[in-house]
A and B are shown apart, each in its own frame.
Chain A
Amino acid sequence: MGASGVVAVAATVIATLAIIGIVGYLLDRNG
């Protein structure tokens, strides 16, 4: 896996964490 692969993995993981963070925050605020 080259540099572009490392960036793609990092971007996917960060995007997933962002989605979890937003949904988790919304559930926490409304729970």
Chain B
Amino acid sequence: MNLAHLHLIMNHVPTVGSVAALGLLLLGYARRNEHLKHVGLEVLFLIALLTLPVYVSGVAANHELRNRSDISIDAVRIHQDVALFGFSWMEFAGFIAWAALWQWRRRGRAAKGMVPAATLLLMMALVVMGRAANLGGEIHHPEILAGGTPAPAGDPNRFVTSAITQVAVYSHWAWPAAETIHFLGLSLSLGVLLAVNLRILGAMKQIPFADLHRLLPWGMLGFGANLITGMFFFVGQPAQYTSSAPFYWKIIFLVIAGANFLYLTVFGKAWGPFDEAQGRRSGGANAPFHPNVADKAMAILSLTAWLGVLYAGRMLPFLGRSF
């Protein structure tokens, strides 16, 4: 199986997953059921996370197929442009969904407007992703083209991805600035998750877990900064990454590390979920903290995944010959 095949398998995840998440959210509104909305936000966050490997495998497929005479490279690049917009909407929706879930966990409800905002962003993402999926289908299925002809060729620099490549290659400061932010984002993300996960594993017992858990949004913001700068590198110099084995390991570890954010946000009864009747977290902020085996396993998995992200990222120029 090559990366084009992988993309063909995975490319339905954002659209089908978004429909599922949107369905749960709308059903939650229709039935006035907060639990359904909560599950909808969880699915939305997971789909946003899985959209990353879908986009990456799509770019890799582009590089594998670009020299084939039976495929219009313009059609591929238009698809890639729209997919980048869809990916951006999806990640934004995923971030708002996570923030809503985090507030839910801390206060028992999301701030006013957060869930509707996540729902609207998801709708936007679904529309753009649907368009990207349709354009993707047209690449090798000319029978579904409305006019029977592929998209016309034109100035290759009209594509957004090409414009990003121009900035990445020719700007003297954009790449160094993005690298600096990438390292700051990694420090923020790894720093917060290191503290939270080590606490779960039994370190720093004098610090209440609820206090460390409060740091989670800072880690997520670091994660977001890294996603944006990382995508700038990837879209700017795709060939460098699509032929690099450590890059794919980094993406796999990144999805696992991202899923840990969701686990720390919605699961784990050990640190007292919000109690509606009492109007506060059950047991209070200083309640005894008893992580179970699943909590500890997730902590070890998260720390391992972050080490993997760190190692694979740092080894990008040294393993393989793509840099």
A interface residues with partner B (beta carbon < 8 Å): 1-2, 4-6, 8-9, 12-13, 16-17, 20, 23-24, 27-28, 30-31
In the bound assembly, the distance between CA atoms of A27 and B222 in angstroms comes to: 14
**Chain B nearest CB: distance from A21 CB in Å?**
9
Encoded as 1 (CB less than 8 Å from any A CB) or 0, chain B from 94 to 109 comes to 0000010011001100
Contact A31 B103 (CB under 8 A): yes
Q: Within the complex, which residue of B107, B111, B177 is in contact with A12, where a contact is CB–CB below 8 Å? A: B177
Q: Are A27 and B176 CB-contacts (below 8 A) given A12-B181, A13-B181? A: no
In the bound assembly, the distance between CA atoms of A20 and B225 in angstroms comes to: 8
Chain A binder among B41-49, B81-89, B194-202, B213-221:
B213-221
Closest 10 CB pairs of A and B: A8-B173, A12-B177, A27-B217, A5-B173, A9-B177, A5-B172, A31-B106, A20-B221, A1-B172, A30-B111
B188 proximal to A (CB < 8 A): yes
Nearest neighbor of A7 in chain B, beta-carbon distance: B173
Q: Are A9 and B217 CB-contacts (below 8 A) given A30-B103, A31-B102? A: no
Give 20 A-B contacts (CB < 8 Å), ordered by A residue. Answer: A2-B172, A5-B176, A6-B173, A8-B173, A9-B176, A9-B177, A9-B180, A12-B177, A12-B181, A13-B177, A20-B188, A20-B218, A27-B99, A27-B102, A27-B103, A28-B214, A28-B217, A31-B103, A31-B106, A31-B214
- By DSSP majority rule, is chain A's interface helix, strand, loop, or mixed? helix
B interface residues with partner A (beta carbon < 8 Å): 99, 102-103, 106-107, 111, 172-173, 176-177, 180-181, 184, 188, 214, 217-218, 221-222, 225
In the bound assembly, the distance between CA atoms of A30 and B114 in angstroms comes to: 11
Q: Are A9 and B173 CB-contacts (below 8 A) given A17-B184, A20-B225? A: yes
List the A side residues contacting B102 at CB < 8 Å: 27, 31
In the bound assembly, the distance between CA atoms of A22 and B139 in angstroms comes to: 43
List the A side residues contacting B107 at CB < 8 Å: 30-31
**Chain B nearest CB: distance from A5 CB in Å?**
4
Contact A12 B173 (CB under 8 A): yes
